[in-house]
Amino acid sequence: MNRWAVSPRDVLRLLRAALLGAGAELAALALMATAAWLLLRAAERPPLGALTVAIVAVRTLALLRGGLRYAERLAGHEVVLRWLTTLRTRVYQALTPRYSGGDLVTRLVSDVDALQDAVLRWLLPAGVAALVGSVAVGVTATASTLAAGVLAGGLAVAGVLLPWLVVRSTARAAEENAPKRAELAERAVELVTGHRELVAAGALAAHRARADDVVGHLVVRERKTMGKTALFAAAGVLVQLGTTVAVALLCHASVPWTAALTLAAMTAFEVVLPLIGAARRVPEIRASATRVQAVLATPPPVPSPRSVQSGHFRLERAGVRYPGRAPALRDVDLDLPPGKRVGILGPSGAGKTTLLRLLLGAETPTEGRVLLDGHPLDEYADLPRLVSGAEADAHVFHTTVRENLLIADPDATDDELREACETAGFDLGLDRETGPDGDRLSGGQRQRLVLARAVLANPRVLLLDEPVEGLDPAHGDAVLAKVLAKARGSVVLVTHRPEHLAGFDEVVTLEDGRALPASAAGPRPAPR
Ligand SMILES: Nc1ncnc2c1ncn2[C@@H]1O[C@H](COP(=O)(O)OP(=O)(O)OP(=O)(O)O)[C@@H](O)[C@H]1O
């Protein structure tokens, strides 16, 4: 099996579908030719016996055409659906470690579906058209090589040149429209997510007008492209007419045989002409295929069997730089053996969350190294079991409080869940619905639910990102003290309040992504 997950059996199945499709179209072609021959031969009033074979052939071919078309649809869909099942599994396996949410769905559903269209609407019809066209040219050659040459030329123009022109013009239009499409997507998202703010500022109409402008621009461009495609399709019909007339004039055979060949030529175009319309989707399919190929080409990180031993983290001159931005973090050294408590201070944007994300393995250092027991973090499959916590953007599942907590400890009893809630200062009932990503909770409740989950998980390395920021100071201090008292291993606490770090083993103060030297960071908190 190759990178595209196409097995030799798939190729055979595809070939079978193409042969069935070609059979159906050839039956249609023969039906037209035989019917024309029959009509004109009947006009010569031959004995009925001379027409019997043709009469039976017309009936047989009509039945055969329908039957073969049905069989071709079945065979074509069978091969595509089987192939897509394997391909989707491969793409999913390659995607899950690298993407999530909408991006994953887009790549998995839209891109792979586009490949289905590539086979059913493009590859199979093109194969069938080539087979039918070749047979039509071959049969015409028995009467006149010149007519056969003209037919071959006409079919090549309608089946190759015109679809290629459509692909070229659609691809160019897509390229030109890409910035406007991106702008439209951005404006649409702004209109939806920022609707309330836009209404409050009285700017909704202006924003909507700008979005309408973009839509108007795109509609004009789309119409132009559609117009061009329609012109190419019309040109295809003209080529069909011209070629058919030429075949009629150039075939020096009996009248019934000439009529049969002429109608056969015309019918051959019926198989080829749909390729012009189908060519419109080629650029889109090509883009999807490139994206799927890129996903499949990069082997997914294979989690090694390495499992955590002592759980000793070490940052060595670690840094993170987002493209086109000043470094979010640089040259940070940190030693975090089991049981050590480290506090992180620093102004907004100093890189505190980025540092936690490095320890979680959610961010890869662009400079330096982040090691766990001496090995890079991506060598561990079970990292989330060791290190977790209450990150600012932790996900709240759309279910009840209980289910959200049980994720941290599936065996916990209701009493244990309540105890964790109490520790985190979270006072809603366990059956309370949380809504999508916790939007039926207040900001503070959401934050404390995430904290209760971290308490319940009780990991060997607990990371807390400003966990009591929304609470009033006295209540926040009490909650934090309880949470820290329950922590069984190392703790890294990001906070704006140095008094939270009393008793911590080390305090790192970040500024512009750098750790300040200890003397510049102010007095160290009292030891525990
Ligand atoms: N995904 C991202 N892409 C680009 N820049 C980012 C990204 N995430 C963070 N940054 C930038 O990196 C810098 C550090 O961000 P970080 O979230 O670590 O700061 P912080 O100290 O946690 O701030 P705060 O106290 O406000 O939460 C900031 O300048 C931020 O704008």
Select from 231, 262, 297 the last residue of a domain: 297
Residues 86 and 20 in one domain: yes
Which residue, of 240, 268, 297, is where some domain finishes? 297
Do 435 and 475 fall into the same domain? yes
Chain segment 108-156, per-residue pLDDT in tens: 677 888 888 888 888 899 999 999 999 999 999 999 999 999 999 999 9
Dist. CA 364 → ligand 1 center (Å)? 14
> 201-249 pLDDT, tens per residue?
899 999 999 999 999 999 999 999 999 999 999 999 999 999 999 999 9
Nearest CA to ligand 1 atom 27: 348
Residue 286 DSSP one-character state: H
Instruction: List beta partners, residue 461.
Output: 387, 490
What total number of domains does the chain contain? Answer: 2
Say if strands 506-511 and 514-515 run parallel, antiparallel, or are unpaired: antiparallel
331 Cα–ligand 1 center, Å: 16
* Res 457 pLDDT > 70: yes
Pick the residue with more confidence: 495 or 114? 495
Residues 336 and 433 in one domain: yes
Examine residue 2 and state whether it is found in any structural domain, yes or no. no
Cα 389 to averaged position of ligand 1 atoms, centre (Å): 18
CA of 298 to the centre of ligand 1 (A): 28
Cross-strand pairs, 510:
515
Pocket of ligand 1 (CB under 6 A): 322, 325, 328, 346, 348-354
Q: Going by CA atoms, what residue is nearest to atom 11 of ligand 1? A: 328
Cβ neighbours of 321 (radius 10 Å):
15
Cα of 353 vs centre of ligand 1, distance in Å, is 7
Q: Are 289 and 322 part of one and the same domain?
A: no
Classified as helix, coil or strand, 527 is strand
Do 470 and 397 have their domain in common?
yes
Closest CA to 513 of 323, 344, 324, 390: 344
Q: Are 255 and 341 within one domain? A: no
Is 356 in the same domain as 400? yes
- Strands 514-515 and 490-494, bridge-based pairing: unpaired
Q: What is the DSSP string of 19-88?
A: HHHHHHHHHHHHHHHHHHHHHHHHHT---THHHHHHHHHHHHHHHHHHHHHHHHHHHHHHHHHHHHHHHH
Distance CA 306, CA 502 (A): 36
Q: Quick one: 415 and 495 in the same domain? A: yes
Are residues 373 and 407 both part of a single domain? yes
Identify the pLDDT of residue 416: 94
How is residue 107 written in tokens? 């790549």
- Which residues form the domain of 391? 313-521
pLDDT of residue 151: 96
Nearest CA residue ID for atom 17, ligand 1: 353
Q: What is the mean pLDDT of the chain?
A: 88
| 306-328 average pLDDT score | 89
Three-state secondary structure call for residue 498: helix
Residue 307 lies in a domain: no
Residue 1 in this model has a pLDDT that exceeds 80: no
Separation CA 489–CA 486 (nearest Å) = 9
What whole-number distance in Å separates Cα of residue 503 and Cα of residue 506?
9
Mutation test of ligand 1: which of 332, 354, 364 has the most ligand atoms closer than 8 Å to its C-beta? 354
Tell whether 63 is covered by a domain.
yes
Q: Is residue 3 part of a domain?
A: no
Same domain, 374 and 225: no
The answer to whether residues 206 and 239 belong to one domain is yes
- How far is the centre of ligand 1, averaged over its atoms, from the C-alpha of 363 (Å)? 12
Counting from 1 in the atom list of ligand 1, the atom nearest the Cα of 354 is 18
Say if CB 509 and CB 522 are below 8 A apart. Answer: yes
Q: Quick one: 260 and 359 in the same domain? A: no
Domain contains 464: yes
Domain stop point among 297, 324, 346: 297
- Name the residue at shortest CA distance from atom 8 of ligand 1: 354
